[in-house]
Amino acid sequence: MHMRRRYRIALPGVLFLALVVFVGVAAGSRAGNLLVWVFSAMVAWILVSGIVSGAMLMGVRVRRLEPGPGSVGRPLVIRYEVTNANWLWPIVDLRIAETRIDPAAATQSHAWLARCGARQSAHVEGVLWPRRRGRIRLESSVASSQFPFGLMEKSVTTAQPREILVHPQTVPLRPISFARLVRTGIGQGQRVADGQGGGDDFRGLRPYVPGDPQRHVAWKRSTLLEDPVVVERSTPAPRRLLVILDVVAPTAQVARMIEPGADARQREEDAITLCASLLSHAEREGWEVSLRIAGMPPEPASGPASSAFRRGAWHLERLYSMLAAIDLDAAREGASAASREGSTGRSALAPEPDSVRGAVTIVVHPARADTAIGGPGAMHLTALQLPEMRQP
């Protein structure tokens, strides 16, 4: 971990130096030892400021703890572990910030540590508010302090290169809009599961096995059969939603499809936001969700399981990460190429029937709906519908 220390005279320090010169001239020209004392005290302030802050920052070790993925518009807390290796002197009034963060990518709020005793560690939090989806590169963290007198700013820069993924923005959707949308889908996402499990649906009867709970015993049937039988339930089968993002058309082509003057890239981002919001809303309502991206090559990091229907925060994070990793400047897989791939890849235009059986399919387009994507029965939304689906 490479560290670099820097000293910089702060503005109050410059003013203070000017005052010291003034008092020094007065003390030198006017007989009065108290004035000399004031001058001496001021010089001592400068020296002690340098000594104290130097001693303080000599022992500072700042380690950025692995930040998780962020989300556009949501605060991303970045934690730092500050260790004071100094044996005697505490760290006071320490400010930690990331260097070289693109202001267009994120707004930064520094972390602040009031005090960390000698040979102690402390955790502090800084906050990033990502402005756009994608990757943000964190190069190094700089810990600075103007303590004790604010005359000099001392800083220690610690190189800790790291990339963080920023998920697309999710907006709350109107429940009624979502309900109407999925009601029109085939089967409304409902399905029947085969396996035995702890669901609510009746699956069958089987002979009693010692250890079965008594409340599972079907008493009437047992009386008829003269042997105890128990009721088996099916596995839970939540409804399924497949969201397909259509980024087949390059941005330039999208620009031709939308009204003049509108921002095509923003429209694509809105489509991504709508996808993320649909996934978020559905997952919250108990749906199993899946995502496919039409027009993009498979993302190596996301893995093959990303397209499976699952529930839970972890799965949702994976789907968000797929959306976050979309590079809209990269070459798109055209519709013809995708058609040739058929239903084997995640960039497929039409989902394979087995895997999506019983699932509601929603295709989100940045501009114009392309019904070739998603197959029959799929519902098509455009990015323009985001405002009307959004909860006010």
Partner 1 sequence: MNLLRQCRLRSLALSAVSLAALSLAERSMPMLAGSLLLCAASWYALEGPRGRPLPKWVAGILSGAVVVGAVVVGLDTRGLADLIAITGRALGAVLVIMLFSRRSTVDERSVIALSAGVVVASCMLSTGLLVGLSVAAATVAAVMAVTAYRLAVGSERAADARRMPPHALSPAPPPELPLRSSVSLRGVAIVASVMVLAVASVVFLVFPRLWRDPPGLLRRGGPGTAGFAPEIRLRTGDRISTSRREVLVVRWLDSAGQAVRFAGTPYLRGAVLDSYEPSDARWRASSVNPVQITFRIDPGNFSNLGNPPIDTRVDTWTQVVEMRALVTDAMFTAWAPVAVSASAPRTVVLEPATGTLRDLGADDAGRYSTYQVKVRPFPGASVIESLSWGQRPSIGPEEFPVPQVREEALRILAESGLGDDGDAAMEGDDRWARARRIASAFDAWLQPPRFRYTTDLSRFISREGRDPVDLFLRDYRFGHCELYASAMAALCRSVGVDARVVVGYVALEYDDIAGVYVVRESNAHAWVEVLTGPVQWSMYDPTPAADLIALHEEGRTWADSLRWLYDPIDFAWTRSVVAFDGARQARMMDATARQFSEALGGVVRGIGEWAQRVNNAFLLGPSGYIWLGSLGGVALLGVWTAVSVARARRRERALLALGPLDASERRRMRRDARFWVESAEALRRAGVRRPVHLTPLAWARALRGTRPELAEALERVALRLYEIRFAGLRPDADARRADADLARQLIRAASRVRAG
Give the helix ranges, DSSP H, for the chain. 11-29, 33-58, 175-183, 219-225, 251-257, 264-284, 313-324, 335-341, 386-389
Is residue 27 involved in binding partner 1 (CB under 8 A)? yes
Output 73 or 236, the one with its CB closest to partner 1.
Answer: 73
Residues 37-56 that bind partner 1 (CB under 8 A): 37-41, 43-45, 47-48, 51-52
Exposed/middle/buried for residue 358 (C-beta within 10 Å: 0-12, 13-18, 19+): middle
Pick the binder of partner 1 from 21, 28, 195, 266 (CB under 8 A). Answer: 28
Pick the binder of partner 1 from 82, 84, 86, 95 (CB under 8 A). Answer: 95
Pick the binder of partner 1 from 105, 125, 228, 385 (CB under 8 A). Answer: 125
CA quadruple 331, 336, 338, 341: dihedral sign: negative
For residue 230, the 8-state DSSP code is E
Output 14 or 44, the one with its CB closest to partner 1.
Answer: 44
Report the C-alpha gap between 32 and 370 in whole angstroms. Answer: 90
* Alpha-carbon dihedral angle through residues 211, 216, 218, 219, given to the nearest 10 degrees: 70
Output 115 or 216, the one with its CB closest to partner 1.
Answer: 115
On the CB side of 387, CA atoms within 13 Å amount to 2
For residue 186, the 8-state DSSP code is G
Is residue 300 involved in binding partner 1 (CB under 8 A)? no
Output 150 or 228, the one with its CB closest to partner 1.
Answer: 150
**CA-based radius of gyration for the chain:** 31
Phi then psi dihedrals of residue 229, to 5 deg: -125, 155
Cβ-proximal residues to 110 (8 Å cutoff; 6+ apart), any chain = 95, 96, 97, 126
Is residue 18 involved in binding partner 1 (CB under 8 A)? no
Give min distance, CB of 147 to partner 1, in A. 5
Pick the binder of partner 1 from 54, 69, 150, 334 (CB under 8 A). Answer: 150
Helices (H) and strands (E) in the chain, counts: 9, 16
Output 149 or 208, the one with its CB closest to partner 1.
Answer: 149
State the number of binding residues for partner 1 (CB under 8 A). 61
Residue 291 structure tokens: 């995502």
On the CB side of 117, CA atoms within 13 Å amount to 1
**Given the rule CB under 8 A, which of 26-34, 282-290, 345-353, 383-391 is the region that contacts partner 1?**
26-34
Output 159 or 262, the one with its CB closest to partner 1.
Answer: 159
Residue 228 structure tokens: 């105890």
Give min distance, CB of 72 to partner 1, in A. 8
Give min distance, CB of 272 to partner 1, in A. 16
Pick the binder of partner 1 from 84, 141, 146, 234 (CB under 8 A). Answer: 146
- Interface ranges with partner 1 (CB under 8 A): 1-2, 19, 23, 26-41, 43-45, 47-48, 51-52, 61, 63-66, 72-75, 77, 89-90, 92-93, 95, 107, 109-112, 114-115, 124-125, 127, 129, 131, 146-150, 160, 169
